[in-house]
Chains A and B, each alone.
Chain A
Amino acid sequence: CDNEFEQINNNPNVPTAISPDLLLAGVLRNTINDQVNEAWGIGNIVVQHTAKIQFVNEDRYLWGERNGVWNSVYGNMRNVQNIINLATASQQNNYLGVALVLKSWLFSIATDTYGDIPYTDATKAKSDGVYAPKYDTQETVYNGILADLKRANEILGTGSESISGDILFGGGSGAIIKWRKLANSLRVRYLMRISNRRNVNTELQEILSDKAKFPIFESNADNAALVYQATAPNQWPLYGSRVGSFDEFRASKSLVDRLTALNDPRLPVFARPVERPSSAGRVEYTGIPNGLGDTPALNYNGGPQGVSRVGLSFACLVCSTPAPVPNVMRGLVMTYAELQFLLAEAREKGLITTGSAETYYLNGIRANFDFYKAIVPTEYGINVTPSPEYFTQAGVAYTGTQQEKLQKIGTQKWVALFFNGLEAWFDWRRTGIPTVTPGPDNLNNNRVPVRYPYPLNEQSLNGTNRTEAVTRQGTDDLNTPVWWDK
C-alpha cells in the first residue's frame, strides 16, 4: 500500500518548488510594511518626530520586548535565501543581485538595531542543518554587507532574465539600473555608518569617482520607495488603524518647534493643525514634548484637541472626514535626499573629494520638498513649495563653522528621514544630530536608548550563542552601544 500512501501524503494544496519572482514580491511587501510599522511604533518616537499622548510606555523608554525587527529580518531572510539559492542554481544573476541588495539592507537593519547578530550562520537550517546560529560581531556583519552590495552592483545586468515580482521598481529591464543605484547608495549609507570606526575614504571615493561603474541615485525617480495601492490589503499599512490608536501618536514638540522656527512648509505634511487653537480660527501647530507621564501627556496644552495630530498623508481611513487617500505615503527604503545628505557630510568631513558639500546639502533639501510635493494630494490644500527665503535664512543657509554645517545637514536629514524605518535613529546614534533630550518622565535614567535587547525567545532557543554575544558586547539592555557607536 506504500504507493497509495505516497499519493495520500502528497500535499495537493501547495507547491514544494517555486520561482524567484513569486517570492520577491512577498519579501518586499513584508519587509517594507514592517519598516513602516517599526517607524510608527518606535522609530519616529525615539528621534522625536512624534510623541505619545496615551499609552506612553514607548515614549518613556519602557520598551519591554521588541522583536518586530528581528522577526521581520530573519523571517523574510528565509525567502531571500531561497531566491539566492534558486538564482545561483539557474545562473539568474539579476535575481541574485536583487536578493543580495535585500539581504544587505535587512541585515543592516538587524545589526543596527541589536548589535551583534547571527549572520554567517543565519538561515542555514535547511541547507546546512544549523539550528542555533552563532552571533557575529557587527564588524563582521558590515564586512559582509559591504561585500555583498559591491557584488550586487557587479552582477546586476549580467543575467539574461527579466525581473518580475519587483513591486519596488517595477521589474523588467528598466529596473536593473535602479537596483544597482540602490546597491551603491546603500553602500554609501553603510560606509558612512561605520565611518567613526574605520577609514572609509577610499571606498567612498571609488564609488563617487566612476558613475558608470557605480551608479547611485540621481533624483527622486530613483528612490527606493514602495508605492502602495488604493485597495486593501495593499494600502498604506496604517490605513486600517483605529482612530484612537492612531491619534495616540502626535507630532512631537521637537519636530514642530524646529520646523516652525524654519517656517518649513513640510510641517503641514507631518502634522495637522490643532483642533482647539489658542484663538478661534487660527491655524496653529503644537507638538507635545516626548516622554511625559500618562496624565501630563493627555492634559498637555489643554488635552488632545490642543496637540497636533500626525499628518493626513499618513492617517487611517477613519482618522478624518472625508477619509484620507489610502496610498499617499510611500514605504521608504532609501531616498535620493538621504544620499545627498550623506554625501554632504562626507564631503564636509573630507571623506570624499568629489562635488560640493553645499550642493549635496541643497539637493537633499530640495529633493525632500519635491518628494512631498509630488505625493501629497491637492485636496489636502498643502503647499509644500518653500519660499526662496527658506534657503537663505540662517537656520538653513550653508554657513558657519564645520560643526554648524554638519548640524544643519544632520537636521535636514533628520526631517527627511521621517517615517523611514529606524534610519533616523541609527543616524542620530552615530552623529548625535539633532539633539534628542529624554522626556521628563522617562524611565531610563535620562538616557536615550541606543539599542533593542535581543528577543526573549533567543534565551530559550539560542541561549549559548546569545550569551556569548552578550558577554562580548555588554549588558543586553537598551543602553549598550553597538560597535560603530562606541
Chain B
Amino acid sequence: LLSGLSAVAQTITGRVASADDNQPLPGVSIVVKGTTTGTTTGADGRFSINAPSTATLTFSFIGYETQEIAVGNRSTIDVTLRGDAQTLGEVVVTALGIQREKKALGYATQEIQGEALTIARETNVTNQLAGKIAGVTVVGSPSGIGGSSRVTIRGERSVDLNKNQPLYVIDGVPISNGFTGASGRNNLEVDFGNGASFINPDDIESINVLKGGAASALYGARAANGVIVIKTKSGRGNKGIGVEINTNQTVETPLVLPEYQTVYGQGNGNGGDFAFVNGGGAGLTDGTDEAWGPAFSLNKSYPQYDSPRTLNGQPTNFRGGDLNAPAGSVITPTPWVAETDNLRKFLQTGRTNTTSIALTGSNDAGNFRLAHTLLNQTGIVPNTDLKRYTTSLSGGFKFTPKFSANAFVSYIKGESGNRPSISYGTESIMYLFNCWLPPSVQLEPMKDYWMRGLEGVRQYSWNYNYHDNPYLTVYENTNGQLYDRVIGNASLKYDLTPWLSVQGRTAIDYSSEKREYKRAFSTQRFPFGQYRDSRIITEERNTDFLFTANKELNETWTVSGTFGGNQLRQKSDFLETNAGQLNIPGIYNLTNSRVPLQTSQSLVEKWVNSLYGSAQVSFRNYLFLEVTARNDWSSALTLPEYARTFGTQDNSYFYPSVALSAVLSDIFTLPQSVSFLKARLNYASVGNDTDAFTFTQSYNPSDPFGSSQIYGETDRLANFNLKPEISDSFEGGVELKLFKRRVGLDVSYYQTNTRNQILNIPLSITSGYNSRAINAGLIRNNGVEVALNLVPVELPNSLRWGVDFNFSANRSKVIRLADNIQNFVMASRRVSIEARVGERMGDMYGIGFARVQNTDPTKPYYDATGQYVGQMVFNQGRPIATTERIKLGNYNPDFLLGINNSLTYRNLRLSFLFDIRQGGKLYSETQTVGREGGIIIETLEGRANGYDLNLPGNGVIGQGVKVVSTNADGTTTFAPNDVKVNSRQWHTAWTGGRNIAEGVMYDASFVKLREVQLGFNIPDRIWGRVPLRGVTFTLVGRNLAVWSKVPHVDPETLSYSGGTALPGIEYMAIPSARSFGFNLGLKL
C-alpha cells in the first residue's frame, strides 16, 4: 500500500572506504537492487549512479561484506565496507536480538559460529564453550549422556550456588534453564539435564557470549551473570531451495578410569580364607563388602557366588548365589582369581549418532528453513540412552518493504529409557565399583541377575547384605524420561519511517516432562520394588514491543535508540506420585501399590513486567556512546495480602548502564603495523529479584500417621522486607589488531560488586529455623580476560596456521555478609563451601589433621621446643582430627587457558584445542570410601605381603609425631611416631572414619586435549553433474586426553545434591567420556 508513490530517479554520489583503515576502495560493485543498473568505484573510491529514492543499493567487493543501503531522500551516500567474517567488523547479536557492529560496543563479547558446534559435538551444547570463550567456566555433568552442565561467566557473584548461571536467550527471547530435579530423595539422585542441555546445536547459527553487566543490562535480572545469546539459522540469503545434510557418528569410551587393586579379594583383613554360603555372613567373610581378604592365588579355590552347586554329587542349574537352591546342595569351590578391569568390562562403548537435514530457501519476499535433527545416544553405562528429535521451522516474510514478519519454532522431543543414578548410594553403580566391589567378584556371571526360578522377584548377586547387582541396577532400576518442549517466537516489524521501526514479539518456552523411576523387587533399598511417576510442566512466556530508531544526522553524528517493554510469565507445575511398594513384581503402575500412594504437588508462578530503553550516539563512526536503562516490577518481591502488615514492599527497581567505545585507530594516525585499535569502558547496574513465594511462611504436609494428618512449619524464616539485589560492574578493555590482522588481542578487566543479595542465610537450628531470607552481602569479582589470536603463518599457497588463546583469571572476594555474620555455609557435603568475610568465594572447609604448633600455649599440641612444629600428630598410630574446620583450599581455578591451533592447506584443515586449568582444589569421595573398602590402588600400601605385621612391607607408620606426655604447663612433649598400624586401619584412619577431609584434597589443575578436528573439503568440481556441493568430511575427537594430579577421576567434575550442582566435590561421578568419530556435511 505504500508503493503507490512513483519514484523519480536521481543522481547519487558517494565514497566507499574500508572500515578497517578508511582507505578508499577502488573497484567496488554498486548495483541498484533488482535491476541490472550498476557501476564501480574509481581509484579514489568514489562513484556516481542514478537511482530512484525507493531503490536499494547493493555494495559488494571481494573480501568484504556486502552491504545494502536504502536510498531514501539522500543524494550522497558514503559507505564503509567491513572485511568479511574471518577478519573484522563483525556484526554481533546483542541484547534483545539487536545486531550491532562489534566495534561500536563498549563491552566485551565473544562469539562461536554454529559450525564449530556441529562438527565436533557435545550432546549438551553448553559444554562446547569450554576453552573457546575467555571468562567462561564449564563443568559437565557427573552423569554423561547429555546431563546438566554448570556454566559460570566471570566467576561467582552469588553465595547461592544456584544463582550463578547465565541467562540463555534464543533469537532475542530468554528460555528456561532450570534444573528440575537431580532430586536427592530416597537414594534417587538422577541428573535429567538442565534446560540448556536440550538445545539442538544444528539449529544454531552463532552463540555470542555477553559477559558483563553493560552487555546484558537490557535483559534484566536474570542476565546479571552474563548472557548466552543464541541466534538460530534462517533461510536468509539462500536463493532458491537448498538442502543441507550433516551427519555425525561418534563413539565414546571412558576418559579416566579409577585404578583398583587386583591383589586382594573380598574379606576383612585377617589373612584367613573365604567361603560363600549366603552372601550375608554365613560363610567366611561373605557378608563383608570390602576387599581386605585373601590374596589371589592360582593355588586357592573357594566356594563363591558364581561357583556351581551340586546336589548329591550331581550338577545342578543353581549357582552359589542362588539362595533358593535345593537344601543340601553344595557349592563347588572355584579358583580365587582377580577380576581385572571390572569397571572397564562393565562399561560399554557409547555411541552417538546425529543426523540433521535442513531445507532452506528464500526469495525477495521471504525465507524459510525447515530442519530435522535426530540424536541417538547410548551411554557408556549399559542401558542408558538418550534420543532427541528436534524439528525446527523458521521463516521470514516481507508483506511490504516496510512490514515484515519473522517466526521460529522448535519442537524437541526427548526420550531416555534410563538415565543413570548418580552420587553416593546403593542406586549408583559408581558407589559400588569405587567403594564396595572386591576384585574377587567376577562380573560376567552377574549379567544373569535373577536367582534361577525367581526371575523378577529375587536378584542374584555376590552380596545380599548391602548391595545390588550392578546389572540389576542398570537394566531393571531405571530412571526414564519423556520430554516434550516447544520453543518458539513470532514477531512483526513495521518501519514507521526510514529511521524508526516498531516490533511486537511473543515467545514461548513450554515443556512437559514425565519421569518414571522403577525399582525391582529385592532391590536393597526397595525390597518390594517401587514406582514413582513425576510430571513437570514448565512454561515461560515473553511478550514484548520494541521501538528502534536509527538516524544518521550528518556525516559526523548518528544517533539510534530503542524503547521497549516486556512481560515475563513463568509457571511450573509439578506433580509426583509414589507407589512406595508394589503388590505384583514388574508391574510399574500406580494401581499396583501395596501401600497408600504418596503425592506431592506444587504450582509456582512468577511475573515480571519491564520497561527499558537505550540510546546510542556515534561520532564520526569512531566514537560510540551507549546508555541503557531498565525498570522491572516483579511479582516475587510483591507482598501477598497476609504479609502486608509485616513488612515494606519494594518490588520496583531501576538500573542503568553506560558504555563508551573509541576506535583509536580511526581517531589517531597510528603506525602502519596497527590495523585496528579500540578502547572501551563501561559501567552497569543490574537489578535482580528472587524466587516466587519467598514471602510464604508455610506449613508443609508430610505423610499422615494413620488418620492423623501431619504438617510442620518450614524451617526457612521468611523476611517481609526484602529489597532487590543489585550488581554493579565496571569494565575496561582494549582491542588491537596488528600486521594486517595477523595479530589480534582483546583484553578486558572488570570489577563487579554484587550487593543486597537475596539469600537464605543458614541459621543455627537452635534459633528454631535453618535459614532466613535476607538482603546481605557484598561480593566483589575482579578479573582479566585475554583473547589473543595469532596467524604465525599465512602463505600465498594457502597454508595458514592460526593460534587462538583464551585466558581468564577471576577472583571473587567476600567483602561483607550481614551484621554479625562472618561466614555463610553455601553447601556442605563432607567439606563445606563457605563464604567468609575477607576470604575468597569458593573456599572449602573441613576437618584437617591436628598438627604440632608453637603459637598458642593454650591450644592443644603446643611444642615449646618448636622442634616438631607443623608435623601431624598421631594417636595409636592414627592421625588426630582437628576439632574445628580448617580451610582446605578453593575450588575456583587460578586461571583458565584455552589454546586452539588451526592449520589449513587447500582443502585440508586440522585444529586442536587444549584446555588448561591451573589451580583449584577437589575433594575426592572416591578416596575416602575407596580406601575404606580396600578397593583403590592406594590400599596396597601397608599390605605388600598380606596382613602379618611381622612381615616387611606390611603396616604403615604415619609420618609425624606422637604425644609422649602432656606437661603440667599445658605444653606437650612429642617424639616421632613409631606406631605401626595395619593397612586396613591405616586407610580408614586417614580420613578419621569419613571425617577428616584434608588427606583427600587434590590439586584439580589439568590440561585437556579438548578437541581435535581433521577436515577435508571435497571440491565441488569433482562431482560434475552430481548435485553435491560443499562436501566436508571431518574426523573429530573431544576430550581425548587429560593430564592431572587427581587420581581415579576426571578432575573436571562436580556433584549434585537435591538439585544443586556442587563444584569442587567429587562424589562418585560416572566416568567422563572421550569421544571420537566423524562428521560429514553436504549440500544439495
Contact = CB atoms under 8 A, between A and B. Distances in A.
Interface of A: 1-2, 4-18, 21-23, 25-27, 29-30, 54, 57, 62, 64-65, 70-71, 74-75, 77-79, 81-82, 117-118, 121-126, 130-133, 164-165, 167, 229, 231-234, 240, 242-245, 247, 275, 293-295, 298-299, 303-305, 317-318, 443, 453, 456-463, 476-477
Interface stretch (B691-699, B894-902, B910-918): B691-699
A62 B768 contact: no
Contact of A81 (B270, B289, B768): B768
Contacts of B634: 5
Contacts of A242: 426, 465-466, 524-525
Nearest to B277: A305
Pairs A-B, 10 closest by C-beta atoms: A244-B465, A123-B768, A304-B281, A5-B638, A462-B764, A14-B698, A125-B767, A118-B766, A25-B708, A10-B640
Given A125-B717, A247-B287, A298-B270, A132 B466 contact: no
Nearest to B824: A460
A165 to B, nearest CB: 5
Contacts of B636: 9
Interface stretch (B84-92, B110-118, B382-390, B595-603): B595-603
Interface string B683-710: 0000000001101111111111110111
B394 interface: no
B227 to A, nearest CB: 25
A239 B763 CA distance: 33
B919 interface: no
B765 A74 contact: yes
B883 interface: yes
Contact of A18 (B287, B706, B711): B711
Contacts of B717: 125-126
Contact of B823 (A81, A123, A453, A460): A460
Contacts of B464: 243-244
B280 interface: yes
29 contacts: A2-B638, A4-B607, A8-B692, A10-B640, A10-B642, A13-B601, A14-B714, A16-B642, A16-B696, A16-B697, A18-B711, A25-B708, A54-B268, A54-B288, A57-B988, A75-B765, A78-B712, A123-B768, A124-B767, A131-B764, A132-B767, A232-B580, A234-B706, A244-B287, A244-B463, A247-B280, A304-B287, A453-B883, A458-B764
Interface string B606-631: 11010000000000000000000000
A125 B718 CA distance: 11
A133 B764 contact: yes
B793 interface: no
A15 B699 CA distance: 6
Given A29-B705, A64-B992, A294 B268 contact: yes
A46 B712 CA distance: 32
B128 interface: no
A295 B705 contact: no
A82 B700 CA distance: 14
A232 B595 contact: yes
Interface string B987-1003: 01000111100000000
Contact of B281 (A21, A167, A303): A303
B764 A132 contact: yes
Contact of B768 (A15, A71, A122, A229): A122
Contacts of A5: 607, 633-635, 638, 651
A22 B709 contact: yes
A11 B992 contact: no
A167 B706 contact: yes
A294 B766 contact: no
Contacts of B825: 457, 460-461
- Assign chain B's interface to a size class: 35 or more
Nearest to B634: A5
B771 to A, nearest CB: 10
Given A11-B640, A457-B764, 19 more contacts: A5-B638, A7-B640, A10-B642, A13-B601, A16-B696, A18-B699, A18-B711, A74-B765, A78-B769, A125-B772, A131-B764, A165-B710, A242-B465, A243-B280, A294-B988, A298-B268, A299-B268, A453-B883, A456-B884
A10 B702 CA distance: 21
Nearest to B860: A475
Contacts of A461: 762-764, 825
Contact of B708 (A7, A79, A167): A167
A54 to B, nearest CB: 7
Contacts of B772: 125, 131
A303 B717 CA distance: 51
B883 A476 contact: yes
Contacts of B705: 25, 29, 167, 229, 234
A125 B768 contact: yes
Contact of A317 (B280, B527, B602, B704): B527
B822 to A, nearest CB: 7
Contact of A62 (B640, B706, B820, B992): B992
Contacts of A317: 527
B876 interface: yes
B769 A275 contact: no
A77 B766 CA distance: 9
A26 B982 CA distance: 47
Interface in B241-295: 268-270, 272, 280-282, 284-285, 287-289, 292
A393 to B, nearest CB: 35
B768 A9 contact: no
Contacts of A10: 640-642
A9 B287 contact: no
Contact of A9 (B601, B695, B706, B763): B695
A299 B713 contact: no
A25 B994 CA distance: 35
B715 interface: yes
A274 B609 CA distance: 72
Interface hub of A18, A124, A243 (most chain B Cβ within 10 A): A243
A453 B881 CA distance: 13
Contacts of A18: 699, 711, 713
A122 B270 CA distance: 50
Contact of B710 (A22, A303, A318): A22
A130 B604 CA distance: 31
Nearest to A233: B703
A176 B876 CA distance: 55
A65 B697 CA distance: 31
A456 B768 contact: no
Nearest to A77: B768
Contacts of B595: 231-232
B280 A244 contact: yes
Contacts of A82: 713
B607 A8 contact: yes
Nearest to B820: A132
A443 B699 CA distance: 44
Interface string B743-775: 000000000000000000011111111101000
B540 interface: no
Given A1-B633, A26-B702, A164 B763 contact: no
A244 B712 contact: no
Interface hub of A30, A131, A317 (most chain B Cβ within 10 A): A131
B1074 interface: no
Interface hub of A25, A118, A461 (most chain B Cβ within 10 A): A461
B985 interface: yes
A165 B705 CA distance: 9
B402 to A, nearest CB: 33
Contacts of B605: 8
A231 to B, nearest CB: 5
B581 interface: yes
A22 B702 CA distance: 10
B639 interface: yes
Contacts of A233: 580, 703
A197 B705 CA distance: 41
B773 to A, nearest CB: 12
Contacts of A81: 768
